[in-house]
Amino acid sequence: MKNYIAIKLYVPEEHQDTYIALISDLEFTGIEQVNDELTINFLANYYNELINNELFEASRILGFETKLISESPIVEKNWNEDWEKTLEPVIINDDLVISPTSKADNLSHYKYLIKINPQMSFGTGYHATTRLASSLLIKTVNKDDKWVDAGTGTGVLAILASKLGAKSVYAFDIDEWSVRNTIENIELNSVKNITVSQSDLNTLQLEEYDGIVANIFANILIDNMSKFASSIKQEGILICTGILKYDKLKVLESAEQYGFELLEELAEDEWVAYKFRKSV
């Protein structure tokens, strides 16, 4: 039986996705995100002072100081299986539900049922930003549209765009685990028109699309607003979330600077989502 160690760190929620990407070369066995806490599991004989230093160095690169909350030994078990047992279907509205495959029975009466095999480090529909983006997307995608899902995570938004009638969807994420999970979930939902890649938005060259949905933190949205503007057709749509309410005006000002017109704003808890139209 293998022994593991769980390292629980303070990592601000808005930095977690980027932080995970920075430490992705470390051989951790699982990650759990809960608010501003990140629990990273390692094999006990792998974790050492050098690995510990890399965890703290990643936070300094991102401009914050992480703190060790706890360090706990754990015995071998199927963590993902146990975690999935606690998940229930997430009802977005009367038409859309997102459900782990283990809980998807008897949900066929929903117009859009998205089944996922969630991994512990990625979204399941429980996060407000996924719900917000889904609510905007379901009212927006037109038949034969070409869409992009930037920062795809589990692939939920790309799958939804496909089920809504998009002609094609390009989904990408910087994280290799995310890409693998997205591919798995695409197969589970039997959608055929989604292309997936492991890519960095900051260096990626995009074609021209009818719409982009981006569930990415505010600073990354702002840094890439000009790219979104040049990659969306005239009168096309940008849906963006991952925005804490404290940052929403900065994102709005950036979008307007690059010719986007605000059509709709949704909010849940500390999070905001915008729907823009490219007007100039």
Q: Are residues 210 and 269 in the same domain?
A: yes
Q: Are residues 71 and 145 in the same domain?
A: no
| Residue 270 binned pLDDT confidence (cut-offs 50, 70, 90) | confident
Whole-number Å distance between alpha carbons of 137 and 161: 7
Average confidence (pLDDT) over 83-100? 80
More confident residue, 2 or 229: 229
Q: Are residues 167 and 265 in the same domain?
A: yes
Whole-number Å distance between alpha carbons of 249 and 132: 18
Q: Are residues 148 and 42 in the same domain?
A: no
Q: Are residues 208 and 133 in the same domain?
A: yes
Tens digits of residue pLDDT in 64-86:
999 999 998 876 555 555 556 66
Which tokens in the block code for residue 235?
């009168």
Using alpha carbons, select from 117, 95, 122 the residue that is nearest to residue 104: 117
Whole-number Å distance between alpha carbons of 258 and 17: 26
Q: Are residues 66 and 129 in the same domain?
A: no
Domain boundary among the residues 18, 47, 77 is at: 77
Instruction: Look at residue 138 and tell me whether its pLDDT is greater than 60.
Output: yes
| Residue 121 binned pLDDT confidence (cut-offs 50, 70, 90) | very low
The helix/strand/coil state of 267 is: strand
pLDDT at 122: 44
State the average pLDDT for the chain. Answer: 89
Q: Are residues 47 and 181 in the same domain?
A: no
Whole-number Å distance between alpha carbons of 72 and 259: 51
Give the C-alpha distances (Å, rounded to integers) separating 280 from 26, 230, 236: 45, 11, 10
> CATH number for the domain including 226?
3.40.50.150
261 inside domain:
yes
Q: Are residues 268 and 150 in the same domain?
A: yes
Q: Are residues 155 and 227 in the same domain?
A: yes
Give the strand pairing for 260-268 and 271-278: antiparallel
Q: Are residues 139 and 248 in the same domain?
A: yes
Q: Are residues 52 and 191 in the same domain?
A: no
Q: Which domain holds residue 10?
A: 3-77
Whole-number Å distance between alpha carbons of 60 and 196: 31
Count of domains in the chain? 2
- What is the side-by-side order of every strand in the sheet holding 67-75? 28-34, 37-43, 3-10, 67-75
Domain boundary among the residues 19, 48, 77 is at: 77
| Residue 88 binned pLDDT confidence (cut-offs 50, 70, 90) | confident
